[in-house]
Amino acid sequence: MRQAHIRCIRVTNKTQFDHCLSIRDKVFIQEQNVPVDREMDEHDSLDDPSTKHYLLIADGHPIGAARTLAKETGSIKVQRFAIVGTERGKGYGKIFLEAIEKDTDSSVKTFVLDAQEHAIPFYERSGYTVCSESFMDAGIVHKTMKKHKSD
């Protein structure tokens, strides 16, 4: 089986950003029934200095989207992490997450995210640990997870 050519890019233009929003729409709004007003928020802009948006591309096709939010604590919160359904289970999520983590300032020491309960094993394999009780977000059970950046 041929290995796909994978690239993770930091989004810098409207076309790339629109690909991210389209993936998030497919995964969160259409597939998981997250209300649009819960999926989209004030950080969905290329002009927001506290966020970075990322796009995962396989063989020239956008297949993943994510964003990071710089927190006042000096940590980075990984948010809106999504891989389109047809591309899950192929190892692309791990590649994507590692690329996002590497693209952070050296002063960042901690990554945080709110994982959907079914995705917790994926994040645990990437070094994250659960640090909260279960809570509901957009009708889906989540737990907060944390990872300390390797030096």
pLDDT at 2: 59
Q: Please, which pLDDT band fits residue 114 given cuts at 50, 70 and 90?
A: very high
d(C-alpha 118, C-alpha 12), whole Å: 31
Cα-flanking dihedrals φ and ψ of residue 90, to 5°? Answer: -110, 5
Map out the domains of the chain as residue ranges: 6-148
Q: Model confidence over 28-80: pLDDT tens digits?
A: 999 999 999 899 999 999 999 999 999 999 999 999 999 999 988 889 999 99
pTM above 0.95, yes or no: no
pLDDT at 4: 74
Name, in order, each residue with C-beta under 8 angstroms of 2's C-beta and a sequence gap of 6 or more.
Answer: none
Q: Which CATH class is domain 6-148?
A: alpha beta
pLDDT at 9 over 90: yes
Closest CA to 32 of 122, 128, 142: 142
**Mean pLDDT taken over the chain:** 93
Q: Which helix (H) or strand (E) holds 143?
A: strand 140-148
Q: What is the CA radius of gyration of the chain?
A: 15
Measured CA distances, 29 to 11, 23, 54, 61, 112 (Å): 21, 10, 19, 20, 23
Structure token pair of residue 56: 């995962």
Query: What's the number of CA atoms in the CB half-sphere (13 Å) around residue 50?
Result: 13
Amino acid letter, residue 77: K
Contact 85, 27 (CB under 8 A): yes
Closest CA to 61 of 17, 32, 19: 19
Per the listing, tokens 């993936």 go with 23
Q: Which range has the worst mean pLDDT, 47-56, 101-110, 140-149?
A: 101-110
pLDDT at 151 over 60: no
SS3 108: coil
